[in-house]
Amino acid sequence: MKLSARNQLKGKVVGIEEGSVNGIVKIDIGGGNVISSTISMAAIKDLGLSIGSEATAIVKATSVMLMVD
């Protein structure tokens, strides 16, 4: 599959917090880093996501904000 987004972070699903409409999927991308994504419960089921599944987080944004203390 080809995709225009260059920010692709591969990892394993380490957590799924199910809600009534949306769920939060946490993916361990290595180096002690975990990225989370809020997606619909329908998408979680359609993608067959479960703990231990391999998944790729794809980030495509027009702006990214940073903050420091």
69 residues of the chain, pLDDT tens digit each? 788 888 899 999 999 999 999 999 999 999 999 999 999 999 999 999 999 999 999 988 777 777 898
Kindly report the pTM of this predicted structure: 0.84
Q: Which of 28, 32, 4 is nearest to 16 (CA)?
A: 28
- Residue 11 and residue 35 in contact, taking contact as beta carbons nearer than 8 Å: yes
Q: Identify the pLDDT of residue 41.
A: 97
- The one-letter amino acid code at 1 reads M
Q: Quick one: tokens of 4?
A: 């225009």
Q: Are 47 and 59 in contact (CB under 8 A)?
A: no
pLDDT given at position 66: 79
Q: How far apart are CA 31 and CA 68, in angstroms?
A: 21
Report the alpha-carbon distance of residue 18 to residue 69 in Å, rounded.
32
